[in-house]
């Protein structure tokens, strides 16, 4: 006699942490990320923590150190995304849009704002572009926390972005191969 057991595996919970300053469409971002990963979402707003990661000479935060300092606050069984409005770097790179390590990642939103490049003539378009860029990077970095490497498909959200033009060019979704690896269908 065979006994079949059915285990319901719930998706990993994702914690979206807005650090310091607000971003437009934070709740909408959470909804889109939850839908993309088919995962329950939690939201948290925190003040910018006292951190040793700021480098005054550069005017940037060290993303590696920031992530190490913040990772201790991530509950077990949760993937966490820290979204900051600051500019960040990770040696040897001059800047990063985001960085992931194990179950946590940081998204550095400063360079997603068209005003960073002096391109904010149409406020409505600039706001929409800012939100789209943050969404892409959040999905990208979360993909890394689930073990996804960079993808060669230029339209896949997991393609490496070396410039803001690269971010704008890539798609908002995983390619078929990445969806299959993540076991996300549809």
pLDDT confidence of residue 63: 96
pLDDT confidence of residue 18: 93
pLDDT tier, 64 (very low <50, low <70, confident <90, very high otherwise): very high
Question: Which element (helix H / strand E) includes 175?
Answer: none
pLDDT confidence of residue 21: 80
pLDDT confidence of residue 120: 67
3 within domain boundaries: no
Domain that holds residue 47: 13-182
pLDDT in tens, 133-161: 999 999 999 999 999 999 999 999 999 99
5 within domain boundaries: no
175 within domain boundaries: yes
Cβ(51)–Cβ(22) under 8 Å? Answer: no
For the domain that residue 30 is a member of, what is the CATH number?
3.40.390.10
Active site residue 165: no
Question: Which element (helix H / strand E) includes 118?
Answer: none
pLDDT confidence of residue 1: 42
| Opening angle at CA 26, ends 173 and 168, nearest 5 | 40
Does pLDDT of 129 surpass 60? Answer: yes
6 within domain boundaries: no
- Of 141, 165, 173, 185, the active-site residue reads 141
How far apart (Å, rounded) are the C-alpha atoms in residues 44 and 120? 29
Cβ atoms < 10 Å from Cβ of 145: 18
Does pLDDT of 170 surpass 70? Answer: yes
152 within domain boundaries: yes
Nearest to 166 by CA among 61, 106, 94, 96: 96
42 within domain boundaries: yes
pLDDT in tens, 76-110: 889 999 999 999 999 999 999 999 998 999 999 99
Q: Which two tokens stand for residue 128?
A: 């929409």
Q: For the ranges 49-53, 98-102, 182-186, which has the lowest average pLDDT?
A: 182-186
123 within domain boundaries: yes
Cα dihedral angle (150, 144, 47, 29), rounded to 10 degrees? 80
pTM of the model: 0.90
Q: Could you give the number of structural domains in the chain?
A: 1
1 within domain boundaries: no
């Amino acid at each position: 006699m065979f006994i079949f057991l059915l285990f319901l595996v719930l998706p990993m919970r994702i914690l979206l942490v807005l650090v310091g300053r607000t971003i437009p469409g934070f709740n909408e971002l959470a909804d889109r990320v939850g839908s993309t990963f088919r995962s329950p979402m939690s939201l948290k707003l925190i003040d910018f923590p006292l951190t040793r990661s700021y480098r005054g000479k550069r005017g940037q935060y060290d993303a590696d150190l920031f992530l190490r300092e913040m990772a201790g606050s991530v509950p077990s069984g949760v993937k966490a995304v820290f979204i900051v409005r600051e500019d960040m770097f990770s040696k040897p790179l001059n800047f990063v849009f985001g960085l992931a390590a194990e179950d946590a990642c940081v998204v550095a939103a400063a360079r997603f704002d068209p005003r960073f490049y002096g391109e904010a003539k149409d406020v409505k378009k600039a706001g929409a572009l800012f939100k789209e860029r943050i969404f892409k990077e959040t999905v990208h970095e979360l993909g890394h926390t689930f073990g996804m490497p960079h993808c060669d498909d230029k339209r896949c959200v997991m393609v490496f972005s070396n410039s803001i033009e690269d971010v704008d060019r890539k798609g908002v979704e995983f390619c078929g191969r990445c969806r299959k690896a993540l076991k996300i269908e549809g």
